[in-house]
Amino acid sequence: MARRRQAVTIKHVAADAGVSLQTVSRVINNEPNVRPEMQAKVQASIDKLGYVPSIAAQRMSGSRSYLILALNDRDRTISDWRNRQGADWVDQMLLGGMLKCAEHGYRLIFELVDTHSDHIERELTAAVAALQPDGVILTPPHSDNALITGYLARQDIPFARISPGVPGDGIALNMNDAGAAAMATDHLVAKGHKRIGFISGPDEYSVSGWRTEGWREAMARHGLATEGLFEEGDFSFESGKIAAEALLSRTPRATAIIASNDQMALATLEIARDKGLAVPADLSVISFDNTPIVRLTHPQLTAVDQPIADVTAKAVELLIAAQRDNEWPDGPVVVPAGLVERESTAPPP
């Protein structure tokens, strides 16, 4: 029976290079004050032995764990996964976060936490004790959970809050959701629409209020009324059907609808078909999210493109700077959304 090959460790590298473990660790972690000739010597041993740095080895250099912990909403994420609806938010968050972490020699750990749980602080305590993260990324609705932010602040762990609804500790980042909703509204007004309906998300998500405000502000700026043109959903397909049914049953009806996520936009397309309305000839539709599914609909949906990967990557950069150099941004960091025009918008009938 063949013997299992022994894994190369930091001790092997140190012995081969004739240096201390701490010196190897400083080279691995790109620490300052390492002489170029020593850097080259250690790197030559790493290349020769085929050594791959481990998290344990990286931690030897000091207090850093080289881990960033990202928390997402458990119930909604698992529900999407079980319904096989996809979770593009999660995919994009992992894409941006993991790639940016890799650039800096860090790793991204993804955890699901129930923001409404009575045991949330116990869950966080266990995760932090096990992982000792250098920073934490909070996504909505965790971004506004005082139990989470308070605990992280007391533990002196840098954390980033994506789209927080209230001021507080941590690094705040957003995608200018109000501006994005206004941009979508302006796009429809430019095509001649005056009765532009809006389907919001639930109140527990701060982005829901921002998007609604952006739509209302843009409508007011153009001198357009909003009465009878607003419905609230909960980001689910079924809630989108109920909201679209209400908007399209009124007289005069909306000639365009902005839905606050792709699921509710898809529901709007279905209700429009049921009522014999052609999109975009009779009804224009704009979605938020811009997940891959909007390119598979008929017609393809015009959508607000949320730069989730870019925001998460920026959060990683800021957390590393805060932990390593004690550098903090002066205020909220904005990574603006864009609008991708496709086939679902046209002048009103």
Q: Which of 49-63, 198-212, 318-332 has the highest mean pLDDT?
A: 198-212
- Identify the pLDDT of residue 5: 45
- Identify the pLDDT of residue 99: 95
Residue 176, helix vs strand vs coil: coil
Using pLDDT thresholds of 50, 70 and 90, give the confidence band for residue 33: confident
Give the single-character DSSP code of 78: H
What confidence tens digit (pLDDT) does each residue in 99-115 have? 999 998 899 999 888 87
- Identify the pLDDT of residue 3: 40
Measured distance between the N- and C-terminal CA atoms of the chain, rounded to whole angstroms? 78
Average pLDDT over residues 319-327: 86
- Identify the pLDDT of residue 96: 94
The CA-based dihedral angle spanning residues 301, 302, 304, 310, taken in that order and rounded to the nearest 10 degrees: 80
Average pLDDT over residues 322-326: 83
- Identify the pLDDT of residue 87: 60
What confidence tens digit (pLDDT) does each residue in 105-155 have? 899 999 888 877 777 888 888 888 888 899 999 988 888 888 899 999 998
- Identify the pLDDT of residue 187: 98
% of the chain exceeding 70 in pLDDT: 93
Which residue, 262, 263, 266, 249, is CA-closest to 197?
Answer: 249
What confidence tens digit (pLDDT) does each residue in 288-318 have? 988 888 888 889 999 999 899 999 999 999 9
- Identify the pLDDT of residue 58: 53
Domains contained in the chain, CATH given = 10-59 (1.10.260.40), 67-175+308-336 (3.40.50.2300), 177-305 (3.40.50.2300)
Give the chain's mean pLDDT.
88
Using pLDDT thresholds of 50, 70 and 90, give the confidence band for residue 1: very low
- Identify the pLDDT of residue 97: 94
What confidence tens digit (pLDDT) does each residue in 61-79 have? 555 778 999 998 888 788 7
Average pLDDT over residues 2-28: 77
- Identify the pLDDT of residue 222: 98
2 pLDDT above the threshold of 50: no
**DSSP character string of 100-137:** HHHHTT-EEEEEEE-TT-TTHHHHHHHHHHHH--SEEE
- Identify the pLDDT of residue 340: 95
Using pLDDT thresholds of 50, 70 and 90, give the confidence band for residue 345: very high
Token pair recorded at residue 192: 């001649």
Name residues whose C-beta falls within 8 Å of residue 35's C-beta, 6 or more positions apart in sequence.
Answer: none
Query: Which residue is listed with tokens 């993260």?
Result: 133
What confidence tens digit (pLDDT) does each residue in 257-268 have? 999 999 999 999
| Least confident window among 80-89, 103-112, 217-226, 281-290 | 80-89
% of the chain exceeding 90 in pLDDT: 54
